[in-house]
Amino acid sequence: MLRRVLWLGWLGILGGCGLLGGGPTEPEQCEQAAPAVVPLFAPGPSETGPIVMRRPDGVIVTTASGRVRPRHEREDRFMHFEGHYFEHRSFRFTIEDHVAAGASSIKVIYEPIADPSTYGPTTNFRAWKMYGPAGNGPQSYTFADNGVLTQVAPRRLEKTVTRNARESRPIKVGDIFDFEFGIFLAGFDAADPSSIGDGAKSYYSDTFRYQVGVGGLTPETFDTTGLLGPVESARLGGGLTVPHIAFANGTPVGPEMAFSQLALNTQSPHQQLALEGRRLFHTRFDTGGHSEPYNPIFSEQAGKLGPHFNTTSCSACHVHNGRGTLPAPGSAPVESLVLKLYGDDAYGSQLQPQEAPLRLVRYETRQVTLGDGQVVTLKKPVFDAGRSLHASPRLARQLVGMGLFEAIDESTILARADEHDCDGNGISGRAQQVKDPVTGELRLGRFGWKAEKVSVRHQVADALDADLGVTTSIFPRNGAAELSDDDLQRLTVYMQLLGVLPQRNATDPKVERGAKLFASIGCAGCHVTATLTGDSHPFEELRAQKVRPFTDMLLHDMGPDLADDSGRPEASEWRTAPLWGVGFTREVSGSVHLLHDGRAGSVLEAILWHGGEAKPMRDTVVALSKDSREALIAYLESL
């Protein structure tokens, strides 16, 4: 494989060394070149080819994929995954935009991976969504064009649309062409050959929105619920951003499922691989049972748990792909937080309940008085495992957008590193360097609270081993792997392609004011508001995406109050936590537990725990007026 070796150039901007960094920086430190790291991906074509292309005749062709849905977009259960969702219930579709070539027609080609019903109803096609008045209930919409697809091959159906039926005119560049499929699969009628088997046979789909004359799917919507847009700056995940989905009264549909939707621009065959990966994510590795009802036992995976483990399935800690939670002190054992151990010969690198159950015994409290006199109580959790340990508590993290982090070029991340604060701004982010567990090469650390994993695959395999005791070819036991490489790939694809929610209320004046404060205070020095993914990831949908994850992917010294008990020099260093999705934490997880050990019960509490490099920003927030502070919090909670 062709490999590039990236070097971090000369680091120093010598004129400003050490002005705000807590002490002078030696010039030779700024002149040192960083060690070389090997890029995660080599340049080359993607697995699927371009998502949008223009043919020689001027027609714009867009490819995409989807999964079956149990109800329409604005109805209950829309976001959920019904029984047998992973069994051939995805599809590919292609949009041929002839408007871009001067005509007034769009052809949509639908290709399910299971046979459509032969004797049952023909697959429906509905286009040009028309919304009724807000407040008229979840079904206050219809489609101006409601017909059927024409089957032209066993698994190929087509529809050509020649007018904008919503406005009774020819289609023109700039229109948002929104459409959905009404899906009937083989087995809907008892006489159908090639029945799909168990589970439902009739479904709905997403409402897909296409930008006429531009190409590509968009989360743009003309919905009357008050969740219009999102505007481009609010599409935090770039092309992976999923639309706002709400009832007509503005209430989100299935808010706990907000982090469970696959990326809008997911390509085929990745959609099906991700659905099969989701099945693995929700499978118990002791019994093979699925965490959701109406799904069969995955007998192939049963009996793989242990011998030591923290939980029985991925979804047990990452409920709805969200953050972990903490129990009340003195109650049940901690379930979605683990203790990473350092220098412990008895228990290894991570404590498991079979060795010593971990409990939250109490909180240590302290109070912070804000500039307007408001008093905030901060709580630090105290854990007990029955003995003294050099340990680092790690709460389960939210999982959206991981593929985008993996797709950012090493050069983009390293360009922001300034370990010795050579630019004198008080921020000295350090790039983590980790040996690839497969090749042994030195790569950039990206994942985990301390950026100790080099790739999504590495992160997944490590969690399987450490949390579930399930071995892979990356981390075998006695040379053997329990989970196949194909299944490891399925889990990895699922993690790579979870969609990102858009920012809410991005144009609200209070939120806009908060955004300006976020920048002026200096928060964006670490929580970088925008970055661009590279062009070498194998997945086309992850390439060249302008995203807003609010992290620089670097390690920063957060001060003694946030240091763990590892006893290591880097105890107070943490990778900048991404902020996208933080405003959905309560809706997804049921409660708010932020920071590495879940100590912060709100965004404000998380800010007030900041120290070290972030202390000047923290102190500025403390001194803000009530109105300014509330605007800042409103901005963060909109993400």
**Statement: residue 20 has pLDDT above 60:** no
Type of residue at 77? R
* Of 370 and 29, the one with more pLDDT: 370
Comparing 330 with 375, the larger pLDDT belongs to: 375
pLDDT of residue 139: 53
With 50 as the cut, is the pLDDT of residue 3 above it? no
62, pLDDT greater than 60: yes
The pLDDT value recorded for residue 34 is 61
Among candidate residues 541, 407, 533, the one with its CA nearest the CA of residue 50: 541
β-pair type (169-170, 555-557):
unpaired
The answer to whether residue 286 scores a pLDDT higher than 90 is yes
pTM above 0.85, yes or no: yes
Burial of 373 (0-12, 13-18, 19+ CB in 10 A): exposed
What integer pLDDT is reported at residue 425 of this predicted model? 87
The 10s digit of each residue's pLDDT in 481-517 is 999 999 999 999 999 999 999 999 999 999 999 999 9
| DSSP calls for 562-599 | G--BS-STTTTEEEPPP-TTGGGHHHHHSS--BSTTS-
User: Which pLDDT value is given to residue 23?
Assistant: 46
Confidence of residue 251 (pLDDT cuts 50, 70, 90): confident
Measured distance between the N- and C-terminal CA atoms of the chain, rounded to whole angstroms: 39
Mean pLDDT of 409-434: 91
Nearest Cα to Cα of residue 125 among 106, 139, 140: 106
Residue 262 DSSP symbol: B
ω before 393 within 30° of 0 (cis)? no
Strand, helix or coil for residue 25:
coil
**Which residues, at least 6 apart from 569, have a Cβ–Cβ distance to it below 8 Å?**
none
Q: Which of 74-88, 130-144, 149-163 has the lowest mean pLDDT?
A: 130-144
CB count, 10 Å around CB of 193? Answer: 9
pLDDT for residue 83 is more than 60: yes
Q: Does position 18 have pLDDT exceeding 60, yes or no?
A: no
pLDDT for 247 equals 65
Each residue's pLDDT tens digit, 548-602: 999 999 999 999 999 999 999 999 999 999 999 999 999 999 999 999 999 999 9
d(CA 597, CA 160): 55
Q: Give the per-residue pLDDT at 12.
A: 30
Average pLDDT rounded to a whole number, residues 15-32: 49
The answer, yes or no, to whether residue 8 has pLDDT greater than 90, is: no
Report residue 212's pLDDT band, with 50, 70 and 90 as the boundaries.
very high
Q: What's the pLDDT band for 19 if we cut at 50, 70, 90?
A: very low
**Do 259 and 399 form a contact (C-beta atoms < 8 A)?**
yes
What pLDDT shows up at residue 130?
A: 86
Measure Cα distances from 226 to 232, 401, 450, 527 in Å: 17, 25, 39, 28
Residue 315 confidence (pLDDT) above 70: yes
pLDDT band at residue 331 under the 50/70/90 scheme:
confident
**In terms of Cα–Cα distance, which of 377, 354, 374 is closest to 364?**
377
Question: Quick one: which of 316, 390, 383 has its CA closest to 350?
Answer: 390
pLDDT band at 230 (very low <50, low <70, confident <90, very high): confident
Above 50 in pLDDT, residue 21?
Answer: no
pLDDT for 319 beyond 90: yes
Mean pLDDT score, 441-455:
97
pLDDT for 223 beyond 70: no
CB 337 within 8 A of CB 562: no
Q: Quick one: pLDDT at residue 593?
A: 97
Q: What is the mean pLDDT of residues 540-552?
A: 97
| pLDDT value at residue 226 | 61
Lowest-confidence region among 6-20, 261-275, 440-454, 549-563: 6-20
Q: Which amino acid is at 631?
A: A
User: For position 217, what pLDDT does the model report?
Assistant: 95
> What average pLDDT does this structure show over 113-139?
81
Give the model's pLDDT for residue 330. 86
- DSSP class per residue in 494-552: HHHTB-BPPPSSTT-HHHHHHHHHHHHHTGGGTS-S-EE--S-SS-GGGTT-EE--S--
Phi then psi for residue 603, to 5 deg, are -60, -40
pLDDT of residue 2: 31
Distance, in Å, from the CA atom of 512 to the CA atom of 142, rounded to the nearest integer, reads 34
For the chain, the average pLDDT equals: 91
Question: How much is the pLDDT for 597?
Answer: 96
